[in-house]
Amino acid sequence: MAERIQAIENQAIVQLTEVKNLLELENFRVHYMGKKGLITELLQHLKDLTPEERPVFGKNLNIAKRRIEDMIAEKKTLFENLETEKKIKTDAIDVTLPGRGYARGKLHPITQVMEEVKEIFLRLGFIVESGPDIETDYYNFEALNIPKHHASRDMWSTLYVGEETLLRTHTSPVQIRVMEKKKPPLAVIAPGRVFRRDADPTHSTVFHQIEGFAVDKNITFANLKGVITAFLHAVFGKEKKVRFRPSYFPFTEPSAEVDVEWGDGWLEILGCGMIDPNVFKAVDYDPEVWSGYAFGMGIERIAMLKFGIKDIRLFFENDMRFLKQF
């Protein structure tokens, strides 16, 4: 019997070297220790032995049983450790990896220029006002000395919303809205979106203007020229060539336009002039008492000059390769 026990133990030792994982180890355990396992089976023989033989047999069997159990436990720990190691390698978070990082948003180049221009006028003492994108015929045209059927309406290819409503073609209606509410002295800028049926490399259907105007006693064209020149120097520097050119607007008299050198030509950036007495009458200001200047500038045009952009439409295509450069 002792030999039989020894044989089973030896067999277990050899067989265990072939066990490759926890599942096989469990099968191994059942083969030896299970209810019908080899060790359990040997116990059945106890009853066939003499009372003298039994203790020795029992003792030997117990020793063998414990040895096999120890081997199984040892192997189990080994497999479990291997499994943990594998898990660490595959699942674990590698804290040494650099963070994933998130893309930081930026202001659109037009917003950047808008903010820069606003800042300049705030420093010059102007306040900011605003008006609606959808305007009435009265504010966009009539109060600005542009009666119905007047030829000068053709200066703006207007997008109409209804009979008397339209998408504002310029920010000048804000002049009227502010002067209706407030009394002079006034120095106001009004940034906003404007809309026209225009589309080519220097004209967009939707674009941005900043309106500016000042009303007080004894305001002259020299004040207008001084403010515009200060603005041009702040945005473009003193070296950039600019020119004031006589022009026409129904709501200013005299009127001028300002161009900035652009390649071997010029790019127009703003219109301006002395507020027409008819505009003052529309808002109940006495033109004998008050005088003022006004201007309206194209923000995209200023951005084109600042950044060297040849086609205005690039600003509205939302191509990240373009936008990321600002």
Instruction: Write out the binding residues.
Output: 253
CB of 218 to ligand FA5, least distance (A): 19
Separation CA 35–CA 43 (nearest Å): 11
* Residues that constitute the known binding site for Mg(2+): 253
Which residue from 117, 166, 189, 272 is in contact with ligand FA5, where contact means CB under 6 A? Answer: 272
> Judged by CB under 6 A, does residue 140 bind ligand FA5?
no
Q: What are the CA-CA distances from residue 314 to residues 109, 111, 193, 260, 262 (Å)? A: 11, 14, 17, 20, 17
Report the residue number, 55 or 226, with the smaller CB distance to ligand FA5: 226
> Judged by CB under 6 A, does residue 141 bind ligand FA5?
no
Separation CA 97–CA 100 (nearest Å): 9
Which one of 114-122, 217-225, 238-246, 270-278 is the stretch in contact with ligand FA5 (CB under 6 A)?
Answer: 270-278
> Judged by CB under 6 A, does residue 268 bind ligand FA5?
yes
204 Cβ contact partners less than 8 Å away, ≥ 6 residues apart: 198, 300, 312, 313, 315, 316
CB of 194 to ligand FA5, least distance (A): 7
Which residue from 71, 177, 300, 309 is in contact with ligand FA5, where contact means CB under 6 A? Answer: 300
The token pair that represents 27 in the structure block: 């099968």
Report the residue number, 65 or 170, with the smaller CB distance to ligand FA5: 170
Which residue from 109, 301, 309, 314 is in contact with ligand FA5, where contact means CB under 6 A? Answer: 301
Pattern of binders to ligand FA5 over 200-229, x per CB under 6 A?
---xx--x-x--------------------
Pattern of binders to ligand FA5 over 87-116, x per CB under 6 A?
------------------------------
Report the residue number, 75 or 158, with the smaller CB distance to ligand FA5: 158
Which residue from 137, 167, 298, 309 is in contact with ligand FA5, where contact means CB under 6 A? Answer: 298
> Judged by CB under 6 A, does residue 170 bind ligand FA5?
yes
Report the residue number, 28 or 126, with the smaller CB distance to ligand FA5: 126
Which residue from 68, 72, 113, 294 is in contact with ligand FA5, where contact means CB under 6 A? Answer: 294
How many other β-carbons are positioned within 10 Å of the β-carbon of residue 158?
A: 19
294 beta partners: 213, 273
Nearest to residue 189, comparing CAs of 249, 252, 257, 114?
114
> Judged by CB under 6 A, does residue 314 bind ligand FA5?
no
> Judged by CB under 6 A, does residue 177 bind ligand FA5?
no
CB of 249 to ligand FA5, least distance (A): 4
Report the residue number, 39 or 303, with the smaller CB distance to ligand FA5: 303
Residues that bind ligand FA5 in the complex, under the rule CB under 6 A: 170, 172, 196, 198, 203-204, 207, 209, 249, 252, 255, 268-273, 294-298, 300-301, 312
